[in-house]
Copies of this chain bind each other. A is one copy, B any other.
């Protein structure tokens, strides 16, 4: 199965990927953990450009995430799924829908089309939105460090709301997980939700 984790920075995605991977491996499953943007050599170079590059046009940003994603699908995700492994991805297509599609106003439909073209239509079997109040995420995340984070509270608020909107629109695929709980409890909720597809 292919599972992605979404949420604002500081929502606990990395922790949940790790906890689910440990659980699945303990059950004897093969698991590939990856992250966006990055996860490949080209992707890490694009990540650098995205996080520390200068001002860029919204569609430039969207296309750079897309470029990294296309590489990750071809090089990592598709071969892993074809080989029978589970793939857990820290951010995937919904990050583009939330950040560029909604928060930057490019439009969910257009960003989704743009992404489906370049990923060969690959969507996760299930996506978890790690839902925490924005103040809590900001507190956990610590000092602001990259370009997207520096855009400040108004943009962060828009992204936060965008994710909730996506969870409503794509309700069959995207599940909100309460990430204010202790991590082990959130992880247990996620495992329960995956029981029917794993």
Instruction: Please tell me if A51 contacts chain B, counting CB pairs below 8 Å.
Output: no
CA distance A196 to B66 in the complex (A): 39
Identical subunits present: 2
Contact: B60 with A63, CB < 8 Å? no
Does A171 belong to the interface (CB within 8 Å)? no
Q: Is the interface of A mostly helix, strand, loop or mixed?
A: helix
A24 in contact (CB, < 8 A): no
Cα of A72 to Cα of B43 in the assembled complex, Å: 22
- Contact-residue size bin, chain A (C-beta under 8 Å from the other chain): 20 to 34
Nearest residue (CB) in B for A65 is B63
A60-B68 contact in complex given A45-B49, A49-B45, C-beta closer than 8 Å: yes
Asked if A46 is at the interface (CB within 8 A of a chain B CB), the reply is yes
Closest to A66 in B: B63
Which 8 pairs from chain A and chain B are nearest by CB?
A: A63-B67, A59-B70, A57-B74, A59-B118, A60-B71, A63-B66, A60-B70, A60-B67
